[in-house]
Amino acid sequence: MELYERIPNNVNLSEDKRLQRALEKWLPDYLDWWREMGPEGFQEKDVWLRTAVSVEPEGWAHFDYVRMPDYRWGIFLKPAERDARVGFGDNCGAPAYQEVPGEFRNPLRRIVVTQADTEPASVEQQRLLGQTCPSLYDLRNLFQVNVEEGRHLWAMVYLLHGYFGRDGRDEADALLERRSGNPDKPRILEAFNQPCDDWLNFFCFTMFTDRDGKYQLSALAESGFEPLARTCQFMLTEEAHHLFVGETGVGRVVRRTAQLMKENRNEDVRSLGGIPFDIIQRYFNYWYSYSLDLFGGEISSNAADFFAAGLKGRYQERKKYTEHLIKEDAFTLPVVEDGRLIERVVPMRNALNEVLRGEYVRDCVRALERWNKYIADEGVDHQLTLPSTRFHRHVGEYAGHFFDVDGSLIAEEEFERRRDEWLPAAEDRAYVRSLMHPVTEPGKIANWIAPPATGIKGKPFEFEYVRL
Ligand SMILES: [Fe+2]
Ligand SMILES: [Fe+2]
């Protein structure tokens, strides 16, 4: 472990002078980007952050006060397994690839660039949120997520510089040039160009959109291209905290709304300064549907090719499955034909995006059930839901068609007529924004959200997580 190098790493960077020089040249550009697009107004503050100091499952993280620009962004890969093999597809059982297989150079670069682009994009989307934090605890969690997304960018840029030659270096530069939501140079994926300008958006984003990242990284963590697999395996350990921030953040908002309803049953939650369930529901519908798009088309020859080549597996391919060829299997899914939904049977390999999306959906349903239990625990009669996976889609089989939240095909006019019933309207967003006033006194919290069950790493909620 070269922890105190200019670029901390566990890939023996000092032995590869060419790569080291290239990354050291990228470093100041990265820091310029961070200062311009990172959290606005807090760059000089001490934040109680965790930093990766090892890649071992136990004790990889160190907690201390750090100024964000001094965060030890670095390159950490899970240690190599001895005798690693391709785990699935047509080359199953062959030695794992240590270099990019030639015929997959372009599509694999595209995968790495697309994943990489989401990391700085989310930092950009969230850059103003610190100014309206509901508590110091939440402020600290926001910054933890931000610096780790920055590190994930480093992880991907290492792959681009290390394995994709000149093209990879150009792509690494371009990652610092695109900007979330900028019409002239937008980020690649639409979910990462959506504004994330209030904390309900932030919690929904880390719940639903970051969770797509978990499943994409898990599929790539199975890759027969070993440097990619090992990179993603370590990123997943950091990602777990982001998902925790999202799931518990949404849960705390839901719990607080239920508490306010109970406090004064005849009162509108709005008059008590809470976020009503119908607005929360519309935020779910919005972020969930955009996040479903991130898995790609339901029927995809790219997905089949990547699986065949041993580059992108299924979720927990090695742990969960015993058969890794899936040459004969088929998958049935509803598609639109002649203005109605019919069932279509496709080869399983072509449906792997949809299979991965299914894993994600089950995970979201699990979280939803937990939130509904919070509501029931408060004695309030209400259930939040997730819309059909066909609702409000912009990618794949259902894009260009219109569905209600139950997944029934409807006319465009009906969708437009009911849009504000299903998706956040300007008025919803304005109301949520009107609640966003910063609470920065240690131990205090905004009225629209419940405090967390515990603090971070043994510290109490009252701990001074950020020194302002
Ligand atoms: Fe990330
Ligand atoms: Fe993340």
pLDDT recorded at residue 3: 79
In a domain, 285, yes or no: yes
Q: Are 223 and 78 in contact (CB under 8 A)?
A: no
Whole-number Å distance, alpha carbon 207 to ligand 2 midpoint, is 10
Whole-number Å distance, alpha carbon 294 to ligand 2 midpoint, is 14
Q: Are 45 and 467 in contact (CB under 8 A)?
A: yes
pLDDT recorded at residue 463: 98
In a domain, 248, yes or no: yes
Whole-angstrom distance, CA of residue 327 vs CA of residue 15:
43
Whole-number Å distance, alpha carbon 121 to ligand 1 midpoint, is 10
In a domain, 136, yes or no: yes
Whole-number Å distance, alpha carbon 242 to ligand 2 midpoint, is 5
Q: Indicate the burial class of 131 (C-beta count within 10 angstroms; 0-12, 13-18, 19 or more).
A: middle
Going by C-beta distance under 8 Å and a sequence separation of 6 or more, which residues neighbour residue 119? 149, 150, 152, 153, 156
In a domain, 273, yes or no: yes
Domain boundaries, position 315: 13-467
Whole-number Å distance, alpha carbon 145 to ligand 2 midpoint, is 6
Whole-number Å distance, alpha carbon 39 to ligand 1 midpoint, is 16
Query: Considering every ligand atom, which ligand is closest to the CA of 211?
Result: 2
Of the candidates 42, 249, 256, 240, which has an alpha carbon nearest to the alpha carbon of residue 137? Answer: 249
pLDDT recorded at residue 56: 81
Whole-number Å distance, alpha carbon 245 to ligand 2 midpoint, is 10
Whole-number Å distance, alpha carbon 164 to ligand 2 midpoint, is 24
pLDDT recorded at residue 267: 65
CA 252 to chain centre: 19
Query: Considering every ligand atom, which ligand is closest to the CA of 206?
Result: 2
Whole-number Å distance, alpha carbon 149 to ligand 1 midpoint, is 4
Query: Considering every ligand atom, which ligand is closest to the CA of 244?
Result: 2
Report the CATH number at residue 218.
Answer: 1.10.620.20
Whole-number Å distance, alpha carbon 124 to ligand 1 midpoint, is 13
Whole-number Å distance, alpha carbon 106 to ligand 2 midpoint, is 25
Report the chain (468 residues): mean pLDDT per 10 consecutive residues: 85 93 96 97 96 80 94 91 94 95 90 96 97 98 97 96 96 98 95 92 97 96 96 93 97 97 82 96 97 97 95 96 96 97 98 98 98 96 97 98 98 98 97 97 98 96 97
DSSP 8-state code for residue 127: T
Whole-number Å distance, alpha carbon 33 to ligand 1 midpoint, is 17
Q: Are 200 and 126 in contact (CB under 8 A)?
A: no
pLDDT recorded at residue 384: 98
CA 165 to chain centre: 28
Whole-number Å distance, alpha carbon 6 to ligand 2 midpoint, is 24
Whole-number Å distance, alpha carbon 239 to ligand 2 midpoint, is 5
Residue 65 DSSP SS3: strand
In a domain, 3, yes or no: no
DSSP 8-state code for residue 62: E
> How many domains is the chain partitioned into structurally?
1
In a domain, 1, yes or no: no
DSSP line for 232-277: HHHHHHHHHHHHHHHHHHHHHHHHHHHHHHHHTTTS-GGGGT---H
Whole-angstrom distance, CA of residue 358 vs CA of residue 197:
29
Whole-number Å distance, alpha carbon 147 to ligand 1 midpoint, is 10
Whole-number Å distance, alpha carbon 150 to ligand 2 midpoint, is 10
Whole-number Å distance, alpha carbon 14 to ligand 2 midpoint, is 28
Query: Considering every ligand atom, which ligand is closest to the CA of 232?
Result: 1
Whole-number Å distance, alpha carbon 19 to ligand 2 midpoint, is 26
In a domain, 7, yes or no: no
CA separation, residue 415 to residues 12, 98, 255, 290 (Å): 56, 50, 31, 17
pLDDT recorded at residue 103: 86
| φ, ψ (nearest 5 deg) of residue 67 | -80, 135
Of the candidates 43, 164, 152, 183, which has an alpha carbon nearest to the alpha carbon of residue 105? Answer: 164
pLDDT recorded at residue 2: 82
Whole-angstrom distance, CA of residue 392 vs CA of residue 194:
15
Q: b/e map of 46-77 (b: 16 or more CB within 10 Å)?
A: bbbbbbbbebeeeebeeeeebebeebbbbbbb
In a domain, 109, yes or no: yes
pTM: 0.96
